[in-house]
C-alpha cells in the first residue's frame, strides 16, 4: 500500500487507503470473511457471498501488523482444523 503516495510524494493517498482498509477490516463476519460487494453510499454489504483467496492484501509490518497477525492466525487455525477433521 502506498505506491501512489510514493510516486506523487503526497502521503494523503496512503493515509486514505489505510483508513479504508481498517474500515473494511472492521466489517468482516464472525467467520472472518468479507462480502464481495459493498454499497458505497450506505456502507453495507449488498452481496454476502465470500471465499478465501479472492483478494490480495499487501501489508507492511509497521502499519498493519494487527491485521496481518490476525489473518495468519485465522488461516492457521483453519488449516489445523482441516487436518484434524479430515
pLDDT, tens digit, 9 for 90 and up, residues 6-59: 889 999 998 898 888 888 888 888 877 778 888 889 988 888 776 655 455 555
Q: What is the pLDDT of residue 57?
A: 53
Q: What is the pLDDT of residue 12?
A: 93
Q: Residue range 57-73: average pLDDT?
A: 66
The rounded distance, in Å, linking the Cα atoms of 77 and 62 is 24
C-alpha cell at 58: 499487501
Measured from the Cβ of residue 61, the count of other Cβ atoms closer than 10 Å reads: 8
Q: What is the pLDDT of residue 10?
A: 93
The rounded distance, in Å, linking the Cα atoms of 60 and 52 is 20
Q: What is the pLDDT of residue 59?
A: 54
Q: Residue range 55-76: average pLDDT?
A: 66
- The pTM assigned to this predicted structure is 0.57
Distance from the Cα of residue 76 to its chain's centroid:
16
The rounded distance, in Å, linking the Cα atoms of 49 and 53 is 13
For 39-60, the DSSP string reads -TTT--EEE----SSSS-----
Residue with cell 497477525: 69
Amino acid at each position: 500500500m502506498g505506491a501512489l503516495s510514493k510516486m506523487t510524494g503526497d502521503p494523503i493517498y496512503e493515509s486514505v487507503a489505510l483508513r479504508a482498509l481498517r474500515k473494511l477490516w472492521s466489517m468482516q463476519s464472525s467467520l472472518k470473511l468479507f462480502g464481495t460487494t459493498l454499497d458505497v453510499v450506505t456502507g453495507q454489504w449488498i452481496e454476502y457471498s465470500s471465499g478465501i483467496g479472492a483478494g490480495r492484501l499487501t501489508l507492511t509490518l509497521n502499519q498493519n501488523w494487527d491485521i496481518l497477525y490476525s489473518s495468519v492466525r485465522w488461516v492457521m487455525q483453519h488449516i489445523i482444523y482441516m487436518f484434524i477433521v479430515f
